[in-house]
Structure 1
């Protein structure tokens, strides 16, 4: 039904952002459910593709659409082979993130946007940004580790940023803001050919401390 007079949009019960966040939450839940038995079959892959087409691909979220494009490529020949099944299971585990880790309700973030394989990090004159909650400690301490080594801290995600570090502890932003605006922007720049890398806090710490 076409909402010619925008009755739905003008209603106090209609909230597009809330509907979008519920769709993303549902996709995360579906992904986790499909991974529960440790395998993804053809029927499950076809179901997921159809559900995404009907519910989330319109959101123009680069992370969601990255998952959809990979799924669509796998099913382009009408067959989900064994290798693709393993890859899809891995992708869905990445997308759905981790399990709750305490009374605060925090979770480990989705790893789907991360560069694979992770890049070699350098510090001198490189521009870093952080997003999410860092397990290492307050962001100012993390930033100090960069500047001490000759690196710089960016003010926003632009073409000048070399590395976006994703904190190990997620929060509601990951579930209700489509993974955060910084990550969305970084994925868009990366897909446009800009050499920006999205890396995990774990990789960042390994580069720092070995």
Structure 2
């Protein structure tokens, strides 16, 4: 059809970005599916859903070749993982020539795909959590980006005692479900029922790299070590700017509370909710726990 999405004039400007994002997503899904070394029917079904979603790109390189490998794999023994390795190799060959996104954006798109792959059978397996932890360690340079920092904090918290209980498993399922949209509606409904009692919001950046000079800080909550005004004074002495509200110019939102640094923010109100929404829209504002803030201040000798 003349007015089909594929033929719309603006697509000559967007197809490259769409293709690169799709490849990064596919790469992550494949890594996530393969993290526990098993391929399940629900995971294959989700991969088929990905193919359907990106059907408009099927006649463009490298999608034609990728789809051929996927379709061939569907007709063969799904217990074999060689075809996933073949697909990952094809994705990597394509990425060598891909310069649309910077490395951080590409890796974040891959990370979201990994969570998609883990979620695609509706269960978070121990091997997957440990493999994801290893991937996060290898990509530590992303520690100031959403959702890397929140996922890293959550995984660190879950693995702190060396075991993963069912409550933690459901919590991980709920968090991944926050920003992964599965194509399998039946599985989506089932996950929704399992996580209905879990409330997930933001998580503080783990081990944040805090710079002061010329940066914009906003503070919220009750501070345990000092009053908020004293904390604001410390920020100002270190050459930073104190703002009363969160905005696109805010670099750090410092959250005061004498509690566990890896918590859900459901009770913290407007500023935290606003910062979380801004991060999901691409802002790089870092949500920092009071304890980490004071550690950074102390490092400066104040």
- Normalised to the residue count of structure 2, the TM-score between the two structures is 0.35
More RCO (CA 8 Å, sep 6+):
1
- Normalised to the residue count of structure 1, the TM-score between the two structures is 0.48
Kindly name which structure, 1 or 2, has the bigger radius of gyration based on alpha carbons. Answer: 2
More helix by share: 2
